[in-house]
């Protein structure tokens, strides 16, 4: 089998800059595929100077020759999808109707999924801090075999109504019990409304397997644009503070309907500092003036985490929530290397880390942890909410650096930035092939010798 698949995955808690590298890798690709999650993701790409926050359509849509697929592993909010298609058309990106394909097997997010997401979060003693986009409840219905797929929307309305009726029985009971009459779903009106939405999207809905077979047989490059990240993986992340899909490489191949034998390369994406949005462990987190609801405390004296957040513009692409910020964590990268088979790293925001160093006077890198009395170089899998969080062991660099996007060669980087990269490579065991120096596709140093 030809081996021409490039998979791009997040190595921490999301927002590492996957959209940018996916859009760049798509420049010579035939297919670009989103495989997991839904509009909990927010991938920023820059198209001819315009910043586009994409939630569902792969960033590879910026290549006018690439076919972009929303794979069977994705869950879809149709209103969001339609407005994204409109945004792309209005931005002048060509041939969207010919190039966008949606797997008929992708599942639909209904309004009741969003209500359930809020309800479940409110019921929890330790909420996950979900994006409240209905992601978890939609995947739960899929697992319960009551999910509605894109194909189902195209059935005659009475058949679709039957399926929705099955799906909403337990949900409506729950809404009633919680005095949420406004959330109670009506199968008849939903069937009518969603059949119409399905018809609007019909031209994109398809069986993606012949497209994939063709691309692999002709040795065309396929890019998988992973969403979310390693520590948010349902099986391998910080359970229960995770999302409801499998963003590690094996999960993305499954969600994209691709054979592992056709894999060529895996690019793990990280930021030179780290961030997390939502709840859960974050060993290298820096203190910040954020209240218990996750909002920035106005007029508070900025702490280290606030400085990093503001220099990195770390506010969610999807929810606008301020992101929690901290230092680079290498033990997580080391674990991600093995869980996802990462060949190379792309470290974005090297420019921002330099600014952070200049502002604070120092930069720290976590190279190992102290955990249960031992020094370890991987992320332990037995952490629970009330348990001990690994204590970072840091290497400290004094000062920072200035770089801008005109820097294209590794050799031109300031010595301190190179030292940072060397520490990350040694502690993670992964070569750093790409270094981000700004938000645009070509704000990147590529080390061709690696
Ligand atoms: P994704 O979810 O992994 O695709 O990442 P997001 O788009 O949510 O967040 C990454 C943010 O960092 C976006 O605003 C990007 O435009 C920006 N970005 C990506 N790489 C770089 C970089 O190397 N330097 C700077 N300054 N910004 C970057
Ligand atoms: P991209 O692809 C950052 C997080 C949420 C929450 C947890 C569960 O842009 O990197 P969910 O709504 O999925 O049930 O929320 O997962 N989360 C993300 N955080 N970037 C993402 O995607 C995320 N997708 C989900 O913040 O903590
Ligand atoms: Mg994002």
With cut-offs at 50, 70 and 90, classify the pLDDT of residue 293: confident
| 97 shares its domain with 111 | no
Q: Which residue range is the domain that position 69 belongs to? A: 5-103+205-266
Residues known to be catalytic: 15, 43
- DSSP letter for 414, please: -
With cut-offs at 50, 70 and 90, classify the pLDDT of residue 386: confident
What's the domain count of the chain? 3
Number of the ligand closest to the Cα of 268: 1
Q: Which residues is 47 bridged to in the sheet? A: 50
> What burial letters (b/e) apply to 283-309, b meaning 16+ CB within 10 Å?
bbbbebbbeeebebeeeeeeebbbbbb
- Which residues does a 6 A CB cutoff place in the pocket of ligand 2? 10, 13-15, 37, 40-43, 128-131, 133, 135-136, 227-229, 232, 243-244, 277-278
| 334 shares its domain with 440 | yes
Mean pLDDT, the chain, rounded, equals 96
Give the span between the Cα atoms of 260 and 264, in whole angstroms: 9
| 403 shares its domain with 275 | yes
Residue nearest to atom 27 of ligand 1 (CA): 439
Residue nearest to atom 15 of ligand 2 (CA): 130
| 261 shares its domain with 247 | yes
Q: What share of the chain has pLDDT > 90, as a percent?
A: 93
| 71 shares its domain with 115 | no
CATH number at residue 113: 1.10.300.10
| 251 shares its domain with 131 | no
Give the span between the Cα atoms of 445 and 344, in whole angstroms: 13
pLDDT at 258: 98
| Least confident among 58-67, 243-252, 385-394 | 385-394
| 35 shares its domain with 135 | no
pLDDT at 321: 85
pLDDT at 419: 98
pTM exceeding the 0.75 threshold for the entire prediction: yes
Rounded mean pLDDT, 145-169: 98
Q: Looking at the predicted structure, is the pLDDT value of residue 310 above 90?
A: yes
CATH number at residue 412: 3.90.170.10
Q: Which of 277, 282, 321, 349 to mutate to test the pocket of ligand 2 (most atoms within 8 A of CB)?
A: 277
Last residue of a domain, one of 163, 183, 200: 200
| 220 shares its domain with 125 | no
| 12 shares its domain with 126 | no
| 191 shares its domain with 224 | no
pLDDT at 320: 82
Last residue of a domain, one of 221, 236, 266: 266
pLDDT single digits (tens) 218-254:
999 999 999 999 999 999 999 999 999 999 999 999 9
Give the span between the Cα atoms of 80 and 152, in whole angstroms: 19
pLDDT at 90: 96
pLDDT at 319: 74
CATH number at residue 25: 3.40.440.10
Among candidates 264, 237, 260, which has minimal Cα distance to 248?
237
| 245 shares its domain with 325 | no
**Alpha-carbon distances of 204 from 68, 82, 83, 267, rounded to whole Å:** 10, 11, 15, 29
Number of the ligand closest to the Cα of 278: 2
Rounded mean pLDDT, 196-221: 98
**Largest separation between any pair of C-alpha atoms in the chain:** 68
pLDDT single digits (tens) 261-278:
999 999 999 999 999 999
End-to-end CA distance of the chain: 25
Last residue of a domain, one of 155, 183, 200: 200
37 lines ligand 1 (CB under 6 A): no
* Chain centroid offset of residue 332 CA: 16
18 lines ligand 1 (CB under 6 A): yes
pLDDT single digits (tens) 93-131:
999 999 999 999 999 999 999 999 999 999 999 999 999
Q: Looking at the predicted structure, is the pLDDT value of residue 404 above 90?
A: no
Q: Looking at the predicted structure, is the pLDDT value of residue 199 above 90?
A: yes
pLDDT at 383: 87
pLDDT single digits (tens) 69-84:
999 999 999 999 999 9
| 392 shares its domain with 280 | yes
- Taking the centre of ligand 2 as the mean of its atom positions, its distance from the CA of residue 281, in whole angstroms, is 14
438 lines ligand 1 (CB under 6 A): yes
Atom of ligand 1 nearest to the CA of 436: 23
pLDDT single digits (tens) 5-55:
999 999 999 999 999 999 999 999 999 999 999 999 999 999 999 999 999
Q: Which of 14, 52, 240 to mutate to test the pocket of ligand 2 (most atoms within 8 A of CB)?
A: 14
Q: Looking at the predicted structure, is the pLDDT value of residue 318 above 80?
A: no
Give Cβ neighbours of residue 138 (< 8 Å, ≥ 6 apart).
38, 75, 107, 108, 109, 110, 113, 147
């Amino acid at each position: 089998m030809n081996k021409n698949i490039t998979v791009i995955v997040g190595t921490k808690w999301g927002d590492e800059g996957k959209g940018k590298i996916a859009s760049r890798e798509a420049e010579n690709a035939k297919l670009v595929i989103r495989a997991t999650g839904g509009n909990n993701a927010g991938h920023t790409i820059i198209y001819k100077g315009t910043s586009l926050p994409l939630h569902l359509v792969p960033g590879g849509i910026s290549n006018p020759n690439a076919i972009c697929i929303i794979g069977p592993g994705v869950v879809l909010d149709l209103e969001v999808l339609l407005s994204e298609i409109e945004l792309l058309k209005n931005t002048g990106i060509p041939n969207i109707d010919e190039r966008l394909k949606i797997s008929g097997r992708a599942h639909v997010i209904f309004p009741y999924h969003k209500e359930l997401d809020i309800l479940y979060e409110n019921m929890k003693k330790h909420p996950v801090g979900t994006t409240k986009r209905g992601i978890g409840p939609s995947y739960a219905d899929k697992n319960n075999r009551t999910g509605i797929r894109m194909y189902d929307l195209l059935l005659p309305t009475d058949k679709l109504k039957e399926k929705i009726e099955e799906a909403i029985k337990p949900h409506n009971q729950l809404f009633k019990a919680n005095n949420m009459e406004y959330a109670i779903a009506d199968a008849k009106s939903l069937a009518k409304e969603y059949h119409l939405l399905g018809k609007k999207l019909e031209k994109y809905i398809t069986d993606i397997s012949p497209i994939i077979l063709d691309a692999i047989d002709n040795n065309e490059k396929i890019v998988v644009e992973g969403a979310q990240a390693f520590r948010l993986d349902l099986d391998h992340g910080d359970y229960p503070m995770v999302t409801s899909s499998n963003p590690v490489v094996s999960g993305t191949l499954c969600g994209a309907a691709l054979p592992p034998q056709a894999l060529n390369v895996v690019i793990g994406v990280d930021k030179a500092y780290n961030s997390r949005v939502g709840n859960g462990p974050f060993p290298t987190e820096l203190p910040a003036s954020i209240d218990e609801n996750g909002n920035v405390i106005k007029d508070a004296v900025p702490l280290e985490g606030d400085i990093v957040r503001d220099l990195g513009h770390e506010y969610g692409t999807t929810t606008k929530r301020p992101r929690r910020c901290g230092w680079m964590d290498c033990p997580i990268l080391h674990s991600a290397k093995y869980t996802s088979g990462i060949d190379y790293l792309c470290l974005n925001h090297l420019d921002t880390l330099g600014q952070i160093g200049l502002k604070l006077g120092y930069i720290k890198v976590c190279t190992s942890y102290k955990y249960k009395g031992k020094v370890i170089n991987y992320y332990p899998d037995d952490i629970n909410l009330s348990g001990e969080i690994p204590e970072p062991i840091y290497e400290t660099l004094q000062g920072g650096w200035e770089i801008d996007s005109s820097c294209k060669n590794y050799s031109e980087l300031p010595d301190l930035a190179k030292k940072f990269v060397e520490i990350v490579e040694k502690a993670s065991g992964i070569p750093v092939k790409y270094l981000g120096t700004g938000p645009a596709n070509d704000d990147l140093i590529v080390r061709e010798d690696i």
